[in-house]
Amino acid sequence: MQSSPFSHLNDQQRQAVTAGLGQTLVLAGPGSGKTRVLTERIAYLVRDLAVRPYHILAVTFTNKAAREMQSRVEQTLGDPCRDLWLGTFHSVCARMLRREAAVLPFDSNFVIMDADDQDTLVKRVLKELNVNDKLYRASGVHAAISNAKNNLMQPKDYPRRNYRDEVIARVYERYQQMLLQSNALDFDDLLLWTVRLLQENPDVVERYGRRFEHVLVDEFQDTNTAQYLLLKLVSSYHQNLFVVGDEDQSIYRWRGADYRNVLRFEQDFPEAKKILLEQNYRSTQTVLDAARAVIDRNPHRTPKHLFTDRGSGERLVLFEAADDHSEATYVVDLIGQNMAGDRKAGSRFAVMYRTNAQSRLLEEAFLRSGLPYRLVGAQRFYGRREVKDLICFLRLVANPADEVSLNRTINLPPRGIGDKTIQSLQAAAQRAQTTPGAALLELAAKGERSAAFTALGGRGAAMLLDFARLLAGWMEAARQEPLPALFDRIVTETRYEAYLRDGTEEGEDRWNNVQELRKLAYEYQDRGLGPFLENLALVSDQDTLPEDVTAPTLLTLHAAKGLEFDNVFIIGLDEGLLPHSRSLDDPEEMAEERRLFYVGMTRARNRLYLVRSRQRSSYGSTEFSEPSRFLQDIPSALLEERGAQRRARSTRPSEVQASWARWETPVPAPRSPQIIPPPPPAPKVVQQQYRPGMRVRHPIWGEGLVVESRVLDGEENVDVAFESVGFKRLLASLARLETV
């Protein structure tokens, strides 16, 4: 007897997968198998309802999730399903915009500006408009512009309630002009222009509406205003919209996500079916009960009764450290005990925190212990200088109008083209009502007879002519040669290898990164330069995480979304850290902080450690801290308390540190006669090796500049600003620094 294709699904999952036509809202608790439901739903449509993959659109938020869904669908159906539109919101929008570029104010070969490019462009605008960049920081201005785009505001729609709004509106307008002049879009534009495309072109929205008989959405709680409207537009004809999400896991409000879209969905589609997925396949019941106790205090949500077949499991550990140094050492010591003799055991541990800055003490503790660790949220591979250099060369070949890439590469490696020459090129292009890239191509074609050469004149024109001929040659090669050949040609003709490989270890590391990018170019040799660049522009941090991890993972709670670990430590559970101080006077922000803690708690499969500190260092002094209010919501029956609150209050952190191993298996302290302690030894005189302004080299992080050196507790502490990873505070005796 043949088994049912749904025999591996629980009742709630089966109900969701086989839901009828119309709108369906699936509220999926953490670890409840939402990816399985989505992929099985697609398979059900194709296999049981005979819907062609061509007529299905499925969107999610990361390339990694999209690849996993595609793989699962193909495995279930035994068919490659090439006609299925499945990808991230941004990749789907980019695909539409390239197809419909004829009715848009940019060409189909537009480039997508990444976060660094966007920041660079905003800084250019601030400088051009003579705006004080100390009062109007580029990151803050761009955040305001991004928020406006996510709410479908064009520059003319931007509200001008005060002088700051007026400045941002002017910057926004000029920023958009520069993007279009460069035939470029930023991430938010992909959504904004797609919505405008569908709203302003009835024939286009009807064509896509008729095509997509079924629209499926993952992580619906993370959609913003633009994404919600986009989904309504593309599903407007057949009205089959299937969304999966969980308002309790909406943690990206700061980048436009609005959990209230779940409420809007129920209001806009009152006949929609609502299905809850409540069986958890990840965590123990104790972890789920503790997490529910925290999240149930949030308003405007659908209560979910999470349950599991995995058993009750062990109680949560609540540890109170004497100070933040002790907090880090406790976590690392406990992980080290569990890793003893088995390095691969480290993959079972994750340490989560509210802000990136909290990783510093953890990193130092791992370095002191000699244990490996993986830091999520460090500089991304695609953000490294040498990788970005090569990407910009390739982007310029694909789109000579891209001024950001042109400005980065025109004198790279240094070829004598200074700022004055670049400004002259820009001025000449402006007078000719063209772009600097187009002026360079004219220079390459006509040489000294070109208007650009005459306008520039002198040595600058000759230097620009050399680069212009290189660019024209690369563009010709891009039309005739495969991508790896173009890549090699650019590296060779710019002498980029010699520029990087300067005989240092850092230079070798940088060259290895270039070779790694070259490997990716080979993977795209049959698809071409355009798809290669689009993939790089849309990749996210989670897409770059290695699958095979053997070390403990350090990451922020925001980065933990979608991940799971056997053992999870959440540190910094103090008022002002979690919840963050910015949320204390804002109920919506406080609700998001609670959701963030809930997401972190539900990443744990087996053990969950909640860690806080009685006092924290603050710019050379210490401040006492209060326990996070979220801890009060967890029933005491679910907690096992360890640390300072379970022992006599000690003012010496070293006493606490020395006792941790015993606290794991408590033993009664032996009675002993009173002994008068000897006088403390004279403080050790430490000869400082480093001074501010010295350049040093670290075996992993490369070169950096010493910012400050001080002696604390008999050890020299060095603050170093590294070029590769930014600011680090190190123990001189362990850091293996070399002076340069």
**432-446: per-residue pLDDT in tens?**
888 888 888 888 888
Cβ 447 vs Cβ 410: under 8 Å: no
* Amino acid 521: pLDDT: 84
Q: How confident is the model at residue 265 (pLDDT cuts 50, 70, 90)?
A: very high
The last residue of one of the domains, among 256, 279, 302, is 279
Q: With a threshold of 0.85, does the pTM exceed it? A: no
- Mean pLDDT of the 36-52 span: 91
What span, in angstroms and rounded, lies between the C-alpha atoms of 417 and 558?
43
**Whole-number pLDDT of residue 442:** 85
Confidence (pLDDT) at 611: 96
- Say yes or no: 340 and 462 in one domain: no
- Output the DSSP codes for 639-681: EEEEEGGGS---S-HHHHHHHHHHHHS--PPPP----PPPPPP
CATH number, domain with residue 35: 3.40.50.300
Which among 354, 424, 425 is positioned nearest to 594, based on CA atoms?
Answer: 354
Same domain, 259 and 228: yes
- Six-digit token pair at 524? 């795209």
Look at residue 207 in the predicted model and tell me its pLDDT: 94
The tens digit of pLDDT for each residue in 226-235 reads 999 999 999 9
Residue 658 has pLDDT above 60, yes or no: no
Q: What is the structure's pLDDT at 99?
A: 93
User: Domain for residue 671, yes or no?
Assistant: no
Distance CA 147, CA 152 (A): 9
Confidence label for 63 from pLDDT (cuts 50, 70 and 90): confident
Confidence of residue 675 (pLDDT cuts 50, 70, 90): very low
Say what the pLDDT of residue 346 is. 86
User: Residue 233: its pLDDT value, please?
Assistant: 95
Contacts of 576 (CB under 8 A, 6+ apart): 584, 625
The pLDDT of residue 549 is: 63
Pairwise CA distance, residues 615 & 624, whole Å: 4
What are the pLDDT digits (tens) for 679-725?
444 444 557 788 776 788 877 777 877 767 777 656 777 777 776 66
Here the CATH number for the domain that contains residue 417 is: 1.10.486.10
Radius of gyration, CA atoms only, the chain: 29
So what's the pLDDT on residue 677? 38
Q: Are strands 241-245 and 349-353 parallel, antiparallel or unpaired?
A: unpaired
Looking at the structure, do residues 404 and 499 belong to the same domain, yes or no? yes
Would you mind telling me the total number of residues written for the chain in this entry?
740
Q: Token match 């009764």: residue? A: 305
Contact 214, 55 (CB under 8 A): yes
End-of-domain residue from the set 139, 154, 182: 182
Q: Is residue 292 part of a domain?
A: no
Q: Which residues, 6+ apart, have CB-to-CB distance to 427 below 8 Å?
A: none
The per-residue pLDDT for range 532-563, each reduced to its tens digit, is 888 777 765 455 455 556 789 999 999 898 89
Are both 60 and 82 inside the same structural domain?
yes
Q: Are 205 and 233 in contact (CB under 8 A)?
A: yes
| Tokens 């992980």, located at residue | 335
Averaged over 78-102, what is the pLDDT? 88
pLDDT tens-digit readout, 705-715: 776 777 765 67
Number of structural domains (the chain) is 5
CB 260 within 8 A of CB 300: yes
pLDDT at residue 128 is higher than 80:
yes
Domain that holds residue 143: 111-182
Average pLDDT of the residues in 153-172: 92
Question: How many CB atoms are located within 10 Å of the residue 679 CB?
Answer: 6
Active-site amino acid positions: 34-35, 218-219, 249, 603
Work out the pLDDT band at 493, boundaries 50, 70, 90: very high
Q: Is residue 339 part of a domain?
A: yes
Q: What is the pLDDT of residue 78?
A: 78
Phi and psi based region of residue 435 (left: phi greater than 0; alpha: psi -120 to 50; beta: remaining): beta
Least confident of 148-152, 359-363, 364-368, 506-510: 506-510
The angle subtended at Cα 301 by Cα 298 and Cα 306, nearest 5°, is 90
- Does residue 664 form part of some domain? no
Give residue 443's identity as a one-letter amino acid code: L
Burial-class residue 101 by CB neighbours within 10 Å (0-12, 13-18, 19+).
middle
- Please tell me the predicted confidence (pLDDT) of residue 237: 93
Residue 318, Cβ density class (10 Å: 0-12 exposed, 13-18 middle, ≥19 buried): buried
Kindly state the average pLDDT of the residues 384-407.
Answer: 89
Shared domain check, 320 and 215: no
Read off the pLDDT band of 404 (50, 70, 90).
confident
**Pair of tokens at residue 126:** 């601030």
Phi-psi region of 593 (alpha: psi -120 to 50; beta: other; left: phi over 0): alpha
Task: Indicate the average pLDDT of the chain.
Answer: 84
Confidence of residue 377 (pLDDT cuts 50, 70, 90): low
| Burial category of 258 from C-beta neighbours within 10 Å (exposed 0-12, middle 13-18, buried 19 and up) | buried
Q: What is the pLDDT of residue 676?
A: 34
Q: Indicate the range of 67-71, 141-145, 683-687 predicted with least confidence.
A: 683-687
Beta carbons of 208 and 198 less than 8 angstroms apart: yes
Q: Tell me, yes or no, whether 615 and 728 share the same domain.
A: no
pLDDT of residue 452: 66
Task: Judge whether residue 94 has pLDDT over 90.
Answer: yes
The answer to whether the CB of 736 falls within 8 A of the CB of 698 is: yes
- Cβ-based neighbours of 592, under 8 Å, separated by 6 or more: 250, 251, 253, 583
Burial class (CB in 10 A: 0-12, 13-18, 19+), 628: buried
In whole angstroms, give the CA distance from residue 734 to residue 69: 45
User: Is residue 573 domain-shared with residue 600, that is, in the same domain?
Assistant: yes
Q: Does some domain include residue 213? A: yes
Does one domain contain both 393 and 506?
yes
**Whether residue 494 sits in one domain with residue 404:** yes
Nearest to 232 by CA among 271, 251, 207, 205: 205
Cβ pair 707, 690 in contact under 8 A: no
Mean pLDDT of 520-539: 80
Q: What is the mean pLDDT of residues 495-506?
A: 78
Last residue of a domain, one of 145, 164, 182: 182
- Residues 448-478 pLDDT 10s: 777 666 666 666 677 788 888 999 999 999 9
Residues 39 and 98 in one domain: yes
Task: Point out the annotated binding site.
Answer: 28-35
Residues whose CB falls within 8 Å of the CB of residue 525, separated by 6 or more in sequence, listed in order: 482, 483, 484
First to last CA, the chain: 75
* CATH assignment of the domain containing 170: 1.10.10.160
Residue 426 lies in a domain: yes
Residue numbering of the annotated binding site for ATP? 28-35
Q: What is the pLDDT of residue 665?
A: 33
pLDDT (tens digit per residue) in 296-315: 999 988 999 999 999 999 99
Residues 6+ apart with CB under 8 A from 675: none
Q: What percent of the chain has pLDDT over 90?
A: 44
450 with 579, same domain: the answer is no
Residues 494, 622: one domain? no
3-class DSSP state of 141: helix
Q: What is the DSSP letter of 723?
A: T
Residue 30 lies in a domain: yes
Classify residue 289: in a domain, yes or no: no
Helical spans, DSSP H, in 182-251: 187-200, 202-211, 225-234
% of the chain residues with pLDDT over 70: 86
